[in-house]
Amino acid sequence: MKGTIFNLLLFTFICIPCIYGRDVTSFNDGWLFKKGPFNDSRSLLSTDHTGGKWEEVTIPHTWNAEDMQTAMANMSGFRNPQSRFYTGKAMYKKTYSPGASLKDNRIFLRFGGVGSVAEVYVNNQFAGRHQGAYSAFVIEIGRLLDFGTENEIIVVADNSERPDVAPVNNVLFGVYGGIYRDVSLIVTEKVGIAVTDYASSGIYISQDNVTSKSANVNIKVKLDNKTGMKQHAQLVTAIYEMDGKRIKMKKETPVELLPQGRHFAEHDFILSNPRLWQGLDDPYLYKVVVRLILDGRVVDEVIQPLGLRRFELKTGDGMYLNGKKTPMYGVCRHQDWWGLGSALTRKEHDTDLAIIKEMGATTIRLAHYQQAEYIYARCDSIGFIVWAEIPFVNSVSTLESENAKQQLTELIRQNYNHPSIYTWGLHNEVYAPYEQTIALTTELNDLAKTEDPYRYTVSVSGYNKVDAIANNNADIQGINHYFGWYGGKTSDIKNWVEKVEKDFPDHKIIFSEYGGEANINQQKEDAGEVGDCCGFDRKYYETFATRFHEIQWGVISRHPKLLASYIWNAFDFGTPVSSQGGVHSRNMKGLATFDRKIKKDPFYWYKANWSKEPVLYLTQRRAVNRENEYTPVTVYSNIGAPRLYVNGMEIKDYSEGTTAVHYIFNSIKLIQGENIVEVKAAYGGKTYSDRIVWNYSPDNKSGTGGSRPVERTEEHIGL
| DSSP assignments along 661-712, one per residue | TEEEEEEEEPPSEEEEEEEEEEETTEEEEEEEEEEE-TT--TTSS----SST
Q: Does residue 543 have a pLDDT over 80?
A: yes
Measure Cα distances from 689 to 116, 496, 711 in Å. Answer: 49, 38, 15
| Stretch 418-423: mean pLDDT | 98
| Structural domains present in the chain | 3-189 (2.60.120.260), 203-306 (2.60.40.10), 321-611 (3.20.20.80)
Band (701; pLDDT cuts 50, 70, 90): low
Q: Does residue 10 have a pLDDT over 80?
A: no
If we measure between CA atoms, which residue out of 33, 76, 26 comes closest to residue 52? 33
CA distance 404 to 511: 24
* Predicted pLDDT of residue 48: 80
Per-residue pLDDT reduced to its tens digit, 348-368: 999 999 999 999 999 999 999
Per-residue pLDDT reduced to its tens digit, 426-483: 999 998 998 899 999 999 999 999 999 999 999 999 888 899 888 899 999 999 999 9
Decide: pTM greater than 0.85: yes
Q: Does residue 281 have a pLDDT over 50?
A: yes
| Stretch 485-489: mean pLDDT | 94
CA distance 48 to 114: 24
H/E stretch holding 11 = helix 3-11
Taking the CB of residue 536, how many other CB atoms lie within 10 A of it? 16
| Stretch 9-34: mean pLDDT | 69
* Predicted pLDDT of residue 700: 77
Q: Does residue 275 have a pLDDT over 90?
A: yes
Q: Are the CB atoms for 482 and 516 separated by under 8 Å?
A: yes
| Stretch 37-58: mean pLDDT | 85
If we measure between CA atoms, which residue out of 643, 614, 646, 612 comes closest to residue 629? 646
Q: Are the CB atoms for 567 and 331 separated by under 8 Å?
A: yes
pLDDT > 70: percent of the chain: 93
Per-residue pLDDT reduced to its tens digit, 71-106: 876 544 444 555 689 999 999 999 999 999 999 999
| Cα dihedral 620→623→629→632 (10° resolution) | -10
Catalytic residue among 119, 400, 410, 429: 429
| Stretch 493-499: mean pLDDT | 96
Q: Is residue 513 annotated as part of the catalytic site, yes or no?
A: no
* Predicted pLDDT of residue 77: 42
* Predicted pLDDT of residue 73: 60
If we measure between CA atoms, which residue out of 161, 157, 183 comes closest to residue 174? 161
DSSP 558: T
Sign of CA dihedral 216, 266, 16, 377: negative
CA distance 635 to 546: 12
CA angle 687, 693, 698 (to 5 degrees): 145
* Predicted pLDDT of residue 554: 98
Q: Are the CB atoms for 522 and 581 separated by under 8 Å?
A: yes
Long-range contacts of 492-495 (CB under 8 A, 24+ apart): 493/551, 493/552, 493/555, 493/556, 494/555
Count Cβ neighbours within 10 Å for each residue of 294-321 and write b for 16 or more, e otherwise. beeebbbbbbbbbbbbbbebeebebbeb
CA distance 164 to 166: 7
